[in-house]
């Protein structure tokens, strides 16, 4: 039975990845940051039905000693570093925390592996936000980076350190440059979930309007359950590498609103209002993936359409409110 160690196991991607690996016969161990609220920390794992099948170990990405101790104890075959301060908007308000957790945290994990589990394979959750002010119409592994937020800059540092450990120490390290990926497990602070939550509240007469920022931003949105499959496939390759993971389709926030509100028979233009205070200091106008390498090398293609993704998220939020378990 192979062992996988996942940081960020209590997040969206961690939950879907846990379910995937358990289905493949893995022992799954996760990093548990005790500063998280204990009553909700396992909610995503519980929602997806795997909380009682994973092992959670106390530690923190900012504490190298805890990472070494955990790796020595569980001796993983694969390590997936998904943990981060992952909300882009918050990174302007907390740039040092973002750099420490999202950037240096990755290096702590790499260094702990070099000391305690040098033969394990490593996956780093890189981000399309590293492309920022895009330098090509469609972004692939050769596109220059130009991050536009402290989050994007921190992810870029982590990305290049993952490359550096691969080239310096011969470690099997891979980065997935993942474009936006959503699901019913997405945090409420992210725009897609904010929209579907708003749709549910308005449909159930709990609210009348939804406040958003820039509706013209374009993103390449896919389903998180598809994207964790790509993560796993990267670590099954003979050597580490970097891969862009996306659908190759872009849509504006306007379009996502139209799909989400339209699913319940509402016109988003009658309910969505824009607020200047919700705009980012520096916007990323468009992200558009070219996932050719992932398709050709990994045999990976997305399976969930944007329409089906929006519908699934709306239905999940409707169910939460009807059951009195919004979250």
268 has catalytic annotation: no
Q: What's the Cα-to-Cα distance from 211 to each of 187, 201, 256, rounded to whole Å?
A: 17, 13, 14
- What does the pLDDT look like over 138-185, one tens digit per residue? 999 999 999 999 999 999 999 999 999 999 999 999 999 999 999 999
In the chain, where are the structural domains located?
Answer: 3-181+221-245, 187-219+250-323
Helix/strand/coil for 272: strand
The reply to whether 151 belongs to the active site is yes
pLDDT, averaged across the chain: 94
Q: In this structure, are residues 293 and 243 in contact, taking their beta carbons and an 8 Å threshold?
A: yes
Token couple for 266 = 């509402």
Residue 126 has pLDDT above 60, yes or no: yes
157 part of the active site:
no
Phi-psi region of 132 (alpha: psi -120 to 50; beta: other; left: phi over 0): left
Instruction: Evaluate if residue 277 carries a pLDDT over 80.
Output: no
Q: What global pTM score does this model have?
A: 0.94
Using a 10 angstrom Cβ sphere, with 0-12 exposed, 13-18 middle and 19 or more buried, the burial of residue 25 is: exposed
What does the angle CA 201 – CA 205 – CA 210 come to, to the nearest 5 degrees?
45
Active-site residue identified among 16, 80, 151, 165: 151
Say which of 91, 127, 128, 174 is annotated catalytic: 127
Six-digit token pair at 8? 């960020």
- The domain covering 187-219+250-323 belongs, at the CATH homologous superfamily level, to UDP-galactose 4-epimerase, domain 1 (3.90.25.10)
Name the CATH topology of 3-181+221-245: Rossmann fold (3.40.50)
Same fold, 3-181+221-245 and 187-219+250-323: no
β-bridge partners, 252: 218
């Amino acid at each position: 039975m192979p062992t996988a160690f996942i940081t960020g196991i209590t997040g969206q991607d961690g939950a879907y990845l846990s379910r995937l690996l358990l289905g493949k016969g893995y022992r799954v161990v996760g990093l548990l940051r005790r500063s998280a609220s204990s009553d909700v920390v396992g909610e995503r794992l519980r929602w997806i039905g795997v909380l009682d099948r994973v092992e959670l170990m106390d530690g923190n990405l900012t504490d190298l000693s805890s990472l070494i101790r955990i790796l020595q104890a569980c001796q993983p075959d694969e390590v997936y570093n998904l943990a981060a301060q992952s909300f882009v908007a918050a990174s302007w308000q907390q740039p040092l925390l973002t750099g420490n957790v999202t950037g240096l945290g990755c290096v702590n994990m790499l260094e702990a592996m070099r000391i305690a589990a040098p033969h394990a394979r490593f996956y780093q959750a890189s981000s399309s936000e590293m492309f920022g002010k895009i330098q090509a119409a469609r972004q692939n592994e050769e596109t220059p980076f130009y991050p536009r937020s402290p989050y994007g800059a921190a992810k870029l540092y982590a990305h290049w350190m993952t490359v550096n450990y691969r080239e310096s120490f011969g470690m099997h390290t891979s980065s997935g440059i993942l474009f936006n990926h959503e699901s019913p497990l997405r945090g409420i602070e992210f725009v897609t979930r904010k929209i579907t939550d708003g749709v549910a509240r308005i449909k159930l007469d709990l609210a009348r309007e939804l406040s958003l920022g820039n509706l013209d931003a374009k993103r390449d949105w896919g389903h998180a359950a598809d994207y964790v499959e790509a993560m796993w496939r990267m670590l099954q390759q003979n050597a580490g590498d970097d891969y862009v993971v996306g659908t190759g389709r872009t849509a504006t926030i306007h379009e996502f609103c139209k799909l989400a509100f339209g699913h319940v028979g509402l016109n988003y233009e009658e309910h969505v209002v824009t607020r200047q205070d919700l705009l980012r200091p520096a916007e990323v106008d468009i992200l558009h993936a070219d996932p050719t390498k992932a398709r050709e090398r990994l045999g990976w293609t997305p399976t969930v359409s944007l329409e089906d993704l929006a519908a699934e998220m709306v239905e999940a939020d409707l169910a939460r409110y009807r059951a009195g378990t919004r979250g």
